[in-house]
Chains A and B, each alone.
Chain A
Amino acid sequence: MFVPTVAWRLMREGRFQSWLILAGVTLGVAVVVYITAIVSGLQANIIDKTLSTQAHVTLKPREDVNLRQITVPEGETLLAEVETRTQRENTIGNWQRLKAAADTVPGVAASAALASGPGFVVKGGVRKSVVLMGVELADYQRIVPLESKLRAGRLRLASGDVMIGTELARDLGLKVGDRLRVVTATGSAESYTIAALLDFGLKDLSRRWLLMPLRSAQNQLGYRLDISEIYLRADDLFDAEALAAAAAARTGLDADSWQETNSQLVTALRSQSASSNMIKVFVTLAVALGIASVLVVSVVQKQREIGILRAMGTPGARIRAVFLLQGALYGLAGSLLGSALGAALALGFTRIARNTDGSPLFPVVVTPSLFVVTALIATAVGVLAAWAPARRAARLDPVEAIRG
């Protein structure tokens, strides 16, 4: 085959240049792969950590639920409009029906009812402010997995059980099996047995969260049979915003996606993505310019050979293909070496960057598709970079080339 043979021989002939540009492409690709692996690993890890204690979508009471519209029946005249005080309704009544309705929204994987509100834990004269979180344990675990958070005891919320955070336990010197007293603003006071100690991943949550049976929280917070929130889990967490809108429409409740709840985090992640994409684009441009300049030089250096080939009847298109193929080969070979190097660097990074307990700070994401996409892009960039030099080679005047 003429094109691959000639391309290969020309690359081999200009060995030094070929190695240099291959090294350049390799380094560029390695940077891109490394950044992609680190950033997507970091972001996946942050999102994972954030969402390990949060619902993808939280349904809450409508804020305007008490602003009744005054409708005037036909034939009657409105004499006066007495504005009722807008009472902020804190709870969701008739929630079983709404929860069932939310479950029917496509893309909802699980739902859980939650009765939450403020309270205090009292132990030996010390009061600690906490958040009572009344849940049905099986439902709640489908939203917030607890197995990995369990530090002591068993995951169990029978009547009279609570599960508390490790920090709270430490502050009050509590352990599994101990009893504690919970009081709320309604004046209610109850005693519970600690069934489990949980590490929620954030110190503040581990200090304040108190998981208890739904019924107990409803009683102590004065919600009667109402609840305060419905948690939803999405099949795809990045669909949460659309899901929130759909669930709000279906239930008539307010819905917040995790992106809204964590808007600062989302903004931070977006700008991190944007800046890492910027780096990738500029590295890619630099790689493309590198390939292009090496090929431009090669066309000038080889113009006599090109002229001879043309004089012997090589069509211009075949000459062009020789140089396009060189660009593609530099891109492809560089992307394979660079992917390996970048992945090795990223994996090396996880060995160096470790938590105090020796576990990796975060897992880097190195997937086969990253390699495939990188190889495709690099090859395409190589071909594009070779475009102008290849055109020049194909249009070279053989007479000029041979005379020179």
Chain B
Amino acid sequence: MADVLTLTGIRKRYGGGKAPLIEVLHGIDLSLAEGEFAALTGPSGSGKSTLLNIMGLLEPPSEGRLVIAGEAAHDLGDDARTRLRNRYLGFIFQFHHLLPAFTALENVLMPVFAGHGRVDAADRTRAAALLERVGLAEHAYKQPVQLSGGQQQRVAIVRALMARPRLVLADEPTGNLDTQTAADVFALMREINREDGTTFLIVTHDARLADSCGRQVRLVDGSLKN
């Protein structure tokens, strides 16, 4: 199956100049195949978020090559990276990061709104259907603060799916949920992966949840361990 994402020799350094130069990622080679459901594990500070941000085109690598959906992305400018991000990628963060000034439905629509500058009736229908799928149909017009933590994270998940991304990057999406809610949220992502074939890479500390994934990638001190 074709790769959604390929990393070759990715290094990331911070600092330099007056601050001490530290290398956080020491040459990462990694491919994610279409339809994979992979867990990224590793101790705190090992570089998981940094790796995810590089994959998500939120920051450029210091060295190495990055190909997303067949397009080389490691040395693109900000606008081109933004366009690729909008087209191929969905994000789920630990702290759901919904926009407080918008309703649940508007938050779900946001990736399309942000990328195209407007939304049409079909987009609205899809957003409503996504909310219904995660059991939030009657909460569509509520503000994020009116929702529980689990509900907010479910909104964030369908928001990540709104623009039909090829790859969803989730950074500790269940990190601040209770065990039962975390399991529910995880099951939901697994279901979407099975039904829609969307590729997932999920950072988690929970060994049980990681074991339930089709693949585990372990990062220790900035290097991959198998």
Contact = CB atoms under 8 A, between A and B. Distances in A.
Contact of B86 (A9, A305, A313): A313
B100 A309 contact: no
A309 B117 contact: no
Interface stretch (B76-84, B125-133, B188-196): B76-84
A160 interface: no
Interface in A305-358: 305, 308-318
Contacts of A313: 82-83, 85-87, 89, 111, 114-115, 163
A397 B81 CA distance: 13
A309 B58 contact: no
A304 interface: yes
A314 B110 CA distance: 9
A312 B86 contact: yes
Interface in A276-326: 304-305, 308-318
A399 interface: yes
B102 A9 contact: yes
Contacts of B78: 316
B82 A13 contact: no
A227 B117 CA distance: 78
A153 B115 CA distance: 82
Interface string B100-141: 111000000011011101100000000000000000000000
Contacts, number: 69
Given A308-B97, A398-B58, A399-B53, A1 B114 contact: no
B114 A318 contact: yes
Contacts of B89: 313
Contacts of A304: 97
A317 B114 CA distance: 11
Contacts of A397: 59
Nearest to A11: B101
B186 interface: no
Contact of A312 (B53, B79, B91, B100): B91
A56 B195 CA distance: 89
Interface size class of B (residues with CB under 8 A): 20 to 34
A316 B80 CA distance: 11
DSSP majority for the A interface?
helix
A305 B56 CA distance: 17
A83 B87 CA distance: 100
B14 to A, nearest CB: 11
B85 A311 contact: yes
Contacts of B117: 1-3, 318
B110 A312 contact: yes
B85 A402 contact: no
Contacts of B59: 397, 399
Nearest to A10: B101
B99 interface: yes
B114 A402 contact: no
Contacts of B86: 312-314
A308 B98 CA distance: 8
Given A13-B100, A13-B101, A312 B111 contact: yes
A269 B67 CA distance: 71
Interface in A1-46: 1-3, 5, 9-10, 12-13
Which of A308, A312, A397 counts the most chain B CB atoms within 10 A?
A: A312
Nearest to B56: A311
B169 to A, nearest CB: 10
Contact of B101 (A2, A9, A316, A402): A9
Interface string A111-155: 000000000000000000000000000000000000000000000
Nearest to B99: A305
B101 A311 contact: no
B97 to A, nearest CB: 5
Contacts of A398: 58
A388 to B, nearest CB: 19
11 contacts: A2-B114, A2-B117, A10-B101, A311-B58, A312-B115, A313-B85, A313-B115, A315-B79, A315-B82, A315-B83, A316-B78
Given A5-B113, A305-B99, A313-B111, 6 more contacts: A311-B91, A312-B110, A314-B114, A318-B117, A399-B59, A402-B58
